[in-house]
Amino acid sequence: MREKIVHHAVEMFLNYGFKSVTMDDIANALGISKKTIYQHFDNKTKLVEATVMHVFEIISEGIDAICALGKNPIEEVYEIKQFVMTHLKDEKSSPQYQLQKYYPSISSNLKQKQFEVMQSCVKANLERGIAMGLYRPNINVEFISRIYFNSMIAIKDKDLFPLQYFSMNEIMEYFIEYHLRGICTSRGRDTLNQFINDQS
């Protein structure tokens, strides 16, 4: 039952937001009593934490699996983006923004875990891209990987990037192209242009 509650809560939180969804909403959707949920989770904060870590684990495992394929580094960046967006439902409800606002402790813990996963993945991508001649050899891998992570956090700020102007998918597309054009060699740019044309 615990897994079933988490699974349904993930769907509801991603679609409607952490703030909007109540324990009553989750109980009604599952056709169970609220008391049953409280047998597994002391309060909503504990349930939010469980759902956040559940999604984090799924995404981390997926990213690791994509990285293990050893694909072209440029293609890999886009494939990871697509995988993440699929699991976050295009972030229509701004879950990360709501998490930061209403559950700052959980948000802070998640950010640290995300950094550890992304830092390892992005650095490996950059180093492989340099070795293949797709990324400039003089880029500072440590600096670029940290800028990339922080920018990924920043573009989810709905005050900076309101959803009425950009969908999350558009913002991710714009940012990834911006990131890659800044680090690609001329050969890398040709590969990037070809990839973008093939996708359109």
Question: Which pLDDT band, with edges at 50, 70 and 90, does 86 fall under?
Answer: confident
pLDDT digits (tens, 9 = 90+) for 141-155: 999 999 999 998 888
Q: Of 121 and 87, which is predicted with more confidence?
A: 121
Question: Which pLDDT band, with edges at 50, 70 and 90, does 87 fall under?
Answer: confident
Average pLDDT over residues 52-59: 94
What was the pLDDT predicted at 94? 67
Residue 10 and residue 51 in contact, taking contact as beta carbons nearer than 8 Å: yes
Average pLDDT over residues 172-198: 95
CA dihedral 134, 140, 146, 147 (to 10 degrees): -70
d(CA 77, CA 122): 9
Average pLDDT over residues 9-37: 93
The label of the residue with tokens 């923004």 reads 97
Residue 149 and residue 113 in contact, taking contact as beta carbons nearer than 8 Å: no
Q: pTM score, two decimals?
A: 0.86
Q: Closest Cα to residue 44, out of 14, 11, 9?
A: 9
Give the CATH number of domain 49-199: 1.10.357.10
d(CA 44, CA 41): 7
